[in-house]
């Protein structure tokens, strides 16, 4: 295998980005995925950050969404209020793809990035929502990056930071979230989708060299593996763009 | 009116024990760090701090022992700290009371304060524990006139027929005693200009009873008025103007300097150890007279490496590994 | 994507009979007048128009017979018309249905549409007939999916303890089919820059399903991106970019030209007389092929007198008596 | 008398403006009053317009609040949303003096600038609120300019556009308007105040040469004239500033 799981993750996500998408991304792999898409399949897609930078040129890789590198030669330097309004807006929100990560995920794509243990006196405190709860509430398509580990794929979250499909079925809609919901989970092993009716996570596509049993063993809840297809490995061109154009210093690819 | 004063005086006058405050910036960018260090230096305690993702300054105020209560969306510093460690330790130790919101909710809360409305609506957080779980005890909410009786509330949308939105979360306005904002340029009256992303600084300032502006450069009013479209802070909301070169260091100030990756990596290491951190606070902050002295200690090799390229606004090819 | 097209095409594609629309500008400034004239030229009817104080363009759209329903805060043009006369006549004749709001309420309604929330709160108008008296019949509100069932509503503030605000007026979001904004500079993709006051143009654009940008100058993207802090319209909300020099005439365009006091005084006179006004519409608007031809008829002596002084942005010592 | 009623009105208003006031004004006399104050007694007061212009230099007189002359060398060029927020804001709103005009006023300082006759089919249609209802709702001190005529000073408005003291007493507060209310009415004859308890209009100060009976005769409701004092005429310096500095072309003074 001439590529790393991180590279496969970035490519798997980048392939889902369309030309008229507005891509919300954080730093890390999500930004590489968005940059790769712009250079390969979706040249007119627009990258924006919650900090308000729209269509950043990204001549160098930012290490945080507040990095001054996101401000260089943007189309507009807005505020946080502008960027989240773009996602909540009925017209533009439909075109936004949000890329998120978390400490825990449950079978319905709900995310925890706040605490392990009791909220009032947590065992481990994480950063908190940031813009994740906003993105998860607003945008039409959410892509979630996770490390595939049993302790991260749990039946029940310690804290529900970012709403996914909530309890599945139409519960998201009933709670008042009239749009969106998680579209897929991309891990170091595979791509998971959500059943269109029950909205429960299922194994959708396996990376080359990974067995469905590996995914089941690393998932802390039962997961349907019957609908699984193989995923094509990164092409030479995809790898070239990712490595040479997006992250030549390997700041994120490691 | 000439509102320039020393940072010492500005902090003495407008930041007192128990003040409700917010600071500008975002993670590793344009935090008013000189003011943060001066607050620590003066030993302020019991602050109630409001933050979206205000980053490094939040962690240092917590580490410096100044903060009793925190309303926050994100306590991280990008790749330098996926969770800021003084924040994490204080929450886990139970010495810091926390109320969690999202970035947009906090931004809306500052906007509500700026607008003079008691709340603003959003769909963000419906069905989440941000709505369900409250951090501060009800007794605190009832006894403190600067915070509302409720963390937030959910209401049915009374307008039907032209929208599919059925419910919204109402988030309450923030009204701080003081907001501290670091900008690139200001005049003596307080008109200020921010280059690059403004984050939520303008709303934070307008939501506050008092405003301290620290700035890289003090400029003549006429310089700012030559292109008023670039100015964002009106003079009548400002109480103090404090020129402080490198006032955002170790965070970035677009067009002037980058964040300092060497310092931030060092900070991430020492903030993991209580003893090392205590030493840092004593030697670098309490043990220095002012920001210039702090800079000498924090960046003994000087600041040339992080000077911004005039074209890009950041330091090109800075070693950030 | 290159979104440039002719004004004729832009209006044909995005403004249809019965469209819900808003136009940018304020009274005698930066109205998208070329687009207004093209809408009249194409004979659009039954428009539902949303305005705060959008001024001259509103009166001409009414005078041109295009508008059936109007939600508005102010139908005047400063000293040139304390009340715009085609607006006054249409309301008094009962041919134009009106719903009154205040300028802030209309601004908030555009902001709500831009933010994607169903309403925003304000204290404005409590106890007034703006709250008590409704213009549109309830049947219209119920049958038209683009307007809410209620004009507005009053609610008790659910947050107590940190504010003396007991009640607020909730004003509903506006979602137009198309917003038309005139700016100084835009690129082919739709990124746009406004010089001087932006009024509520940015929110109007973001509250709309489609956006037409008319501009004085079409410029390269890199020119706008050299100082993105001055740009206010992001490209992904824009459908059409139309370069139209003097596209705001007879209203002003800061940095380019002033309003034309001769034309506006003439307009005030002829808008008082139905026959004279009908002649004006036929000869100046329907009888001209495009904005360049309109300008020749409206300002036969040329436009030198109103050219902006580069220092002040308006025409110094212009005879405005 | 070496001055016009318009000049007296502008001076009467300008005298009430204090150094730390933020003055909201429209065009016309209100702007002259604000400009005169800046040049005479309140040099640090800030003039701003509902259009968003803050501390305009006003090198030439604007003929509308959207006039490009309000944009020149301001401190900040904001939007309408910014300017009204300044008035609704709990800190800055307290410092704002709002200057308004109207077609009708009632004994409690409520204003009509919308219609004469029935709202659904008016006899005369006026411009509507503009920002007047906002200013009247928000700011601590409102000054109202009126021509003193019986048909304009009416017992009952045809339409209540801008809330004053509503039905008097504490009715404004009860309706939810927790701050502000009209401070004075300045006409071509006199200055009217509002009783601190009942909030009904009373005759406060007469211009030189005007009798209380003139005011009573031109007011369409009964008005208390027992508390009336004389108002000093414009000084030579006040007139010089008004005429030579503020409106040398007499665009507003006529």
* CB contact (8 A) between residue A85 and residue C228: no
Those residues whose C-beta lies under 8 Å from the C-beta of residue A189, and which sit 6 or more positions away, are A5, A148, A206, A207, A210, A214, A215, A218
Residue D236 has pLDDT above 90, yes or no: yes
Preceding omega of B262 cis (within 30 degrees of 0): no
- Write the CA distances from D199 to A69, C283, D136, D183, integer angstroms: 59, 55, 15, 10
What are the chain C neighbours of B115 within 8 Å (beta carbons)? 122
Chains near C (3 or more Cβ pairs under 8 Å): A, B, D
B224 contacts D77? CB cut-off 8 A:
no
Report how far residue D36's alpha carbon sits from residue D25's, in angstroms, rounded to the nearest whole number. 13
Residues in B touching A163 (Cβ below 8 Å): 125-128
Find out whether A120 and B78 touch, Cβ atoms under 8 Å: no
Residues B313, A72: C-beta atoms closer than 8 Å: yes
Contacts D132 to C, Cβ<8 Å: 102
Please answer yes or no on whether A84 and B254 come within 8 Å at the CB atom.
no
Q: Are the Cβ atoms of C172 and B162 closer than 8 angstroms?
A: yes
- The whole-angstrom distance between A238's CA and the closest CA on chain C is 24
Residues of C in contact with D48 (CB under 8 A): none
Residue A161 Cα, gap to closest chain C Cα (Å): 21
Residue C41: the pLDDT is: 98
B203: closest CA of chain D, how far (Å) = 10
Question: What does the CA dihedral B304, B305, B307, B312 come to, rounded to 10 degrees?
Answer: 150
C-alpha separations of A78 from A23, A54, A61, A241, B11 in Å:
16, 8, 20, 29, 30
- The answer to whether the Cβ–Cβ distance between A71 and B200 falls below 8 Å is no
Task: Name which of A73, A88, A138 is nearest C228 (Cβ-Cβ).
Answer: A73
pLDDT value of position D254 = 87
Task: Indicate which of B116, B145, B174, B191 best probes the interface with D, i.e. most D CBs within 10 Å of its own CB.
Answer: B116
Closest chain B residue to the Cα of A122, Cα to Cα: B92
Q: Residue A138: closest CA among chain C residues belongs to which residue?
A: C116
Q: Does C262 touch chain A (CB under 8 A)?
A: no
- What pTM was estimated for this model as a whole? 0.98
3-state secondary structure of C213: strand
The partner residue sitting opposite B229, judged by closest CB among C141, C175, C230, is C230
Which residue in A7, A50, A60, A238 is the catalytic one? A50
CB pair distance less than 8 Å for B158 and C119 = yes
Whether B115 and D85 lie within 8 Å, measured CB to CB: yes
Find the CB nearest D119 among C133, C312, C321.
C133
CA of C89, closest CA in chain B: separation in Å? 30
Model confidence at D186: pLDDT above 90:
yes
Give the whole-angstrom CA distance, residue B201 versus residue B50. Answer: 12
Rounded to an integer, what distance in angstroms lies between the CA atom of residue A98 and that of residue C101? 37
Chains A and D touch (3+ CB pairs under 8 A): no
* Per-residue pLDDT, B200: 98
What is the reported pLDDT for A111? 98
Cα B262 from chain centroid?
22
Q: Between C222, C232, C236, which is nearest A46 by CB?
A: C236
**Amino acid B57: pLDDT:** 98
Q: How far is B315 from chain C (nearest CA, A)?
A: 17
CB pairs B-D closer than 8 Å:
60
Residue C160: the pLDDT is 87
Chain B: give the shortest CA distance to residue D85, in Å.
4
What's the pLDDT tens digit per position in D98-156? 999 999 999 999 999 999 999 999 999 999 999 999 999 999 999 999 999 999 999 99
Which residues from chain B sit within 8 angstroms of residue A62, using beta carbons? 78
| A23 has pLDDT over 90 | yes
ipTM above 0.90, yes or no: yes
Catalytic residues of D: 50
Q: Cβ–Cβ of D88/B226 closer than 8 Å?
A: no
Chain D contacts of C313, Cβ < 8 Å? 68, 71-72
Instruction: Tell me if D159 and C129 make a contact (CB, 8 A cut-off).
Output: yes
Of C128, C132, C167, the CB nearest to D162: C128
pLDDT tops 80 at residue D203 = yes
Span A25-65, pLDDT tens digits: 887 899 999 999 999 999 999 999 999 999 998 899 999 99
Contact between C320 and D63 using a beta-carbon 8 Å cutoff: yes
Tell me what pLDDT residue D169 has: 97
Interface of A with C (CB under 8 A): 22, 44, 46, 54-55, 57, 71, 73-78, 85-93, 95, 138
Residue C214 DSSP one-character state: E
- Nearest Cβ partner for B231 among D57, D75, D91: D75
Q: C222 and chain A: CB distance < 8 Å anywhere?
A: yes
CB contact under 8 A, D73 and B115: no
B231/D77 Cβ within 8 A = yes
Distance from CA of C31 to the nearest CA of D (A): 11
Q: Which residues of chain B make contact with A131, given a CB cutoff of 8 A? A: 73-74, 102-104
Chain C environment of A92 (Cβ under 8 Å): 206, 236-237
| Contact assignment for A75 to C115 by CB distance below 8 Å | no
Q: Where are the alpha helices (DSSP H) in C180-303?
A: 201-206, 221-225, 261-270, 274-280, 291-298
The predicted pLDDT at position B79 comes to: 86
Assigned token pair, B24: 């500008």
β-partners of residue D47 are: D23
User: What is the reported pLDDT for B254?
Assistant: 98
What's the confidence (pLDDT) of residue A1? 73
D250: left (phi > 0), else alpha (psi -120 to 50), else beta? left
Predicted confidence (pLDDT) at residue B244 exceeds the cutoff of 80: yes
pLDDT for D59-89, tens place per residue?
A: 999 999 999 999 999 999 999 999 999 999 9
Residue B275 scores a pLDDT above 80: yes
Which residues of chain D lie closer than 8 angstroms to B229, CB-CB?
77
- Nearest one of D114, D30, D38 to D65, comparing CA atoms: D30
Taking only the tens place, the pLDDT of each residue in D83-110 is 999 999 999 999 999 999 999 999 999 9
What would the two tokens of residue C265 be?
């005084």
User: Which residue of chain C comes nearest to A179, CA vs CA?
Assistant: C116
Lowest-confidence pick of B22-31, B75-84, C144-153: B75-84
D-B interface (Cβ pairs under 8 Å ≥ 3): yes
The pair of structure tokens assigned to D109 is 């300082």
| Number of CB atoms found within 10 A of residue D217's CB | 11
Residues of chain C with pLDDT under 50: none
Quote the CA–CA distance of C242 and C199 in Å, as a whole number. 21
A40 to chain C, closest Cα gap in Å: 17
């Amino acid at each position: 295998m001439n590529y790393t799981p991180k590279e496969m993750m970035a490519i798997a996500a980048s392939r889902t980005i369309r030309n008229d998408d507005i891509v919300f991304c954080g730093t890390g792999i999500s930004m590489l995925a968005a940059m790769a898409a712009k250079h390969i399949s979706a040249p007119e897609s627009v990258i924006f950050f919650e900090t308000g930078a729209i269509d950043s040129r990204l001549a160098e890789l930012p290490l945080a969404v507040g990095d001054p590198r996101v401000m260089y030669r943007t189309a507009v330097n807005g505020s946080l209020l502008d960027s989240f309004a773009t996602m909540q807006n009925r017209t533009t929100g439909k075109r936004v793809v949000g890329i998120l990560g978390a400490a825990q995920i449950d079978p319905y794509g709900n995310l925890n990035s706040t605490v392990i243990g009791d909220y009032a006196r947590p065992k481990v405190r994480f950063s908190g929502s940031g813009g994740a709860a906003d993105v998860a509430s607003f945008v039409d398509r959410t892509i979630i990056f996770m490390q595939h580990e049993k302790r991260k794929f749990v039946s029940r979250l310690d804290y529900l930071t970012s709403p996914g499909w909530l309890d599945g079925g139409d519960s998201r809609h009933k709670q008042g979230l009239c749009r969106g919901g998680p579209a897929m989970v991309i891990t170091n092993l595979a791509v998971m989708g959500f059943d269109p009716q029950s909205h429960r996570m299922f194994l959708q596509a396996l990376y080359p060299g990974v067995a469905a049993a590996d995914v089941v063993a690393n998932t802390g809840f039962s997961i349907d593996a019957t609908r699984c297809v193989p995923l094509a490995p990164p092409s030479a061109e995809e790898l070239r763009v990712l490595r040479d154009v997006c992250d030549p210093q390997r700041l994120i690819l490691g | 009116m000439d509102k320039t004063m020393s940072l010492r005086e500005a902090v003495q006058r407008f930041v007192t024990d128990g003040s409700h405050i917010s600071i500008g910036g975002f993670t590793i960018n344009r935090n008013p760090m000189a003011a943060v260090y001066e607050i620590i230096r003066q030993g302020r305690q019991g602050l109630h701090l409001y933050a979206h993702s205000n980053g490094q300054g939040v962690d240092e105020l917590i580490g410096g022992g100044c903060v009793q209560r925190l309303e926050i969306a994100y306590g991280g510093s990008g790749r330098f700290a996926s969770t800021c460690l003084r924040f994490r330790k204080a929450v886990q130790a139970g010495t810091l009371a926390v109320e969690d919101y999202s970035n947009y909710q906090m931004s809306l809360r500052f906007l509500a304060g700026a607008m003079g409305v008691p709340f603003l609506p959003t769909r963000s957080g419906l069905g989440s524990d941000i709505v369900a779980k409250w951090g501060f005890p009800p007794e605190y909410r009832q006894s403190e006139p600067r915070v509302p009786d409720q963390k937030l509330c959910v209401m049915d949308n009374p307008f039907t027929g032209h929208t599919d939105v059925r419910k919204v979360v109402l988030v309450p306005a923030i009204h701080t005693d003081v907001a501290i904002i670091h900008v690139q340029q200001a005049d003596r009256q307080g008109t200020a200009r921010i280059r690059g992303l403004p984050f939520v600084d303008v709303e934070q300032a307008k939501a506050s009873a008092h405003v301290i502006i620290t700035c890289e450069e003090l400029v003549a009013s006429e310089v700012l008025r030559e292109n008023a479209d670039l100015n964002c802070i009106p003079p009548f909301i400002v109480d103090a103007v404090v020129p402080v070169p490198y006032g955002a260091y170790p965070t970035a100030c677009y067009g002037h300097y980058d964040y300092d990756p060497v310092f931030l990596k060092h900070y991430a290491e020492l903030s993991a150890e209580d003893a090392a951190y205590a030493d840092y606070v004593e030697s670098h902050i309490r043990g220095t007279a002012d920001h210039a002295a702090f800079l000498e200690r924090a960046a003994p090799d000087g600041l040339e490496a992080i000077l911004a390229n005039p074209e890009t606004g950041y330091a090109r090819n800075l070693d950030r590994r």
